[in-house]
């Protein structure tokens, strides 16, 4: 809703943004994490669940399935549409109960955490002042005003469809999608191809280490989007939680995969940050939804108005290669296996591989991932990665996605939900196998 007061704050915010060089950092200080955590975890020996999705429910523009077994089940939803609203309305109808459980709890949790950790977040002062004076909701609404003009209108329409169908507050749905820019997780990624993998497959890892206390993992959702018009791009799969439509993890029907790491320990090559631009979760989503090739994806990243310090991974199963991107508001650098950065004895280059463990300047975690890849070089499959890479490196507590971009198959695990048994971290739990050849071909 437009008002004069709001406009003043937006303009004020814009002025202040360019006087600050950093926008926001992860909640906790992971210094010790990067310096000292050299212990290896145990292999994950739980067999991968390969069962077929089970039909649950159907509406005009969507079908809901569950996939996986016992406590490690995941909702698998197909949505079809000519508009973002069609997608959102089907999603909100089929997942109404789940959304109504996730949203209030996640919101209350993140609000409490952010208020508690406000000083450690290194947000611009104007933003912190808004949070303190007027509350987090108000501050996130201002942030939404700053990003609105860079967003795809259909994404808002999709959120509105979700809010209408699930009968939740539209503004709360939007605010939840602004949190990623403030509370970026530390995470790990790799892209492996050619000599690095068994049979020369193109594989990608997305290990998400984010907040496991917000209850997001109680309702994990894989969404398969089926646009009925080319205006909405091509089919793609997004891995998230009930009510969350930004992309942190996913694969497209053109066999592109995406992964991301929030940077808390940059070096001076990173440049500036800004809160005015396309939030990174929608940069990633755009790539899955619209990019046809690796080149498309990289030129989108080069030209979009970027925001935060990040590392992105983009892999292409058609070309059989991957790139890593050093990403901020003011700079962007693209790396392959020949020029990967940062170049250090704790982060050496590996032929036919790009990788990053937990952060940019994160010696112990970077080196652990390096060792896990090189010790098993040439033998790596999705199964081996699940068994003896993520579990040993100990990365991916909230969720892990392993993408086989050659065969179009995705493997996913989630953190332990409320009242569930077994280990907390996703990388220690059972993975489910999702055959995207089958899922992308399912018709309404």
Ligand X SMILES: *[C@@H]1O[C@H](CO)[C@@H](O)[C@H](O)[C@H]1NC(C)=O
Task: List interacting residues with ligand X (CB under 6 A).
Answer: 31-32, 35-36, 43, 60-61, 81-82, 86, 89, 195, 228, 351-352, 372, 375-376, 387-388
What is the spatial distance between Cα 298 and Cα 303, in angstroms, rounded to a whole number?
Answer: 9
Q: Which is nearer to ligand X, 34 or 179 (CB)?
A: 34
Q: How far is the CB of 61 from ligand X (least distance, A)?
A: 4
CA distance 245 to 170: 13
E strands within 92-156? none
**Closest distance to ligand X from the beta carbon of 427 (Å):** 14
According to DSSP, the residues that pair with 402 across neighbouring strands are 205, 411
- Count CB neighbours of 187 within 10 A: 29
Which residue number, 30 or 236, has a Cβ lying nearer to ligand X?
30
Tell me the β-bridge partners of 312.
260, 325
The dihedral region occupied by 41, where left means phi > 0, alpha psi between -120 and 50, and beta the remainder, is beta
**CB–CB of 367/36 below 8 Å?**
no
Task: Return all residues near 345 (Cβ < 8 A) that are at least 6 apart.
Answer: none
CA distance to 48, 160, 185, 339, 422, per residue, from 347 (Å):
30, 44, 20, 12, 33
Q: Measured from the CB atom, is 43 or 320 closer to ligand X?
A: 43
Least distance (Å) between residue 422 CB and ligand X:
19
Q: Which residues of 288-389 form beta strands (DSSP E)?
A: 310-316, 321-327, 332-335, 353-358
For ligand X, give the closer residue by CB, 104 or 194: 194
Q: Kindly state the smallest distance separating residue 165's Cβ from ligand X, in Å.
A: 8
Give least dist CB 209 to ligand X, A.
Answer: 18
Distances in Å between the alpha carbon of 251 and those of 306, 314, 379?
Answer: 21, 10, 23
With respect to ligand X, which residue has the nearer C-beta, 78 or 352? 352
Shortest gap between Cβ of 380 and ligand X (angstroms)?
Answer: 11
Cβ neighbours of residue 32 under 8 Å, at least 6 residues apart? none
Q: H or E element: which one contains 150?
A: none
| 59 vs 118 by CB, closer to ligand X | 59
Minimum CB separation of residue 82 from ligand X in Å reads 4
- Name the residue nearer to ligand X (CB basis): 36 or 437: 36
- What distance in Å separates the CA atoms of residue 386 and residue 84, rounded to the nearest whole number? 34
Nearer to ligand X, 294 or 372 (CB): 372
Contact indicator for 426, 74 with CB cutoff of 8 Å: no
Please list the residues that pair with 258 across neighbouring strands: 250, 314
- Shortest CB 321 distance to ligand X, Å: 11
Taking the least distance from each CB to ligand X, the nearer of 79 and 131 is: 79
């Amino acid at each position: 809703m437009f008002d004069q007061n709001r406009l003043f704050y937006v303009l004020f915010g814009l002025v202040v943004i360019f006087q600050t060089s950093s926008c926001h950092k992860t909640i906790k200080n992971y210094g010790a994490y990067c310096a000292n955590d050299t212990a290896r975890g145990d292999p994950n020996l739980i067999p991968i669940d390969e069962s077929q999705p089970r039909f649950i429910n159907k509406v005009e523009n969507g079908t809901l399935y569950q996939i996986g077994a016992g406590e490690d089940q995941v909702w698998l939803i197909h949505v079809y549409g000519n508009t973002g609203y069609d997608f959102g309305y089907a999603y909100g109808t089929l997942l109404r109960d789940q959304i109504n459980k996730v949203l209030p709890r996640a919101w209350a949790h993140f609000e409490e955490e952010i208020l508690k950790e406000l000083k450690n977040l290194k947000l611009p002062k104007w933003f912190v002042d808004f949070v303190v004076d007027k509350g987090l909701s108000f501050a996130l609404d201002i942030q939404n005003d700053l990003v609105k003009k860079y967003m795809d209108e259909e994404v808002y329409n999709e959120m509105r469809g979700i809010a209408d169908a699930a009968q939740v507050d539209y503004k709360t749905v939007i605010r939840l999608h602004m949190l990623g820019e403030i509370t970026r997780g530390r995470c790990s990624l790799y892209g492996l191809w050619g000599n690095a993998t068994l049979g020369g497959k193109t594989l990608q890892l997305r290990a998400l280490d984010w907040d496991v206390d917000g209850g997001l993992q109680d309702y994990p959702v894989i969404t398969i989007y089926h646009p009925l018009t080319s205006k909405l791009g091509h089919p793609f799969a997004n891995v998230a939680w009930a009510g969350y439509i930004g992309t942190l993890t996913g694969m497209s029907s053109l066999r592109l995969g995406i992964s991301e790491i929030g940077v808390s320990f940059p070096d001076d090559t990173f440049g500036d940050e800004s809160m005015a631009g396309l939030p990174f979760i929608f940069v990633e989503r755009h790539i899955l939804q619209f990019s046809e090739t690796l080149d498309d994806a990289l030129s989108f990243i080069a030209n979009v108005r970027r925001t935060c310090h990040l590392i992105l991974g983009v892999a292409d199963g058609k070309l059989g290669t991957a790139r890593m991107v050093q990403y901020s508001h003011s700079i962007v650098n693209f790396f392959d296996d020949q020029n990967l950065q940062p170049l250090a004895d704790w982060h050496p280059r590996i032929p036919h591989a790009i990788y990053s463990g937990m952060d940019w300047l994160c010696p112990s975690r970077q080196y652990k991932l390096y060792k896990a890849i090189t010790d098993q070089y040439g033998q790596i499959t999705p199964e081996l990665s699940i068994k003896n890479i993520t579990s040993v490196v100990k990365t991916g507590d909230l969720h892990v996605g392993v993408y086989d971009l050659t065969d179009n198959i995705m493997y996913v695990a989630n953190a332990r939900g409320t009242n569930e048994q077994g280990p907390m971290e996703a990388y220690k739990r059972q993975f489910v196998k999702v055959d995207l050849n089958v899922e992308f071909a399912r018709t309404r």
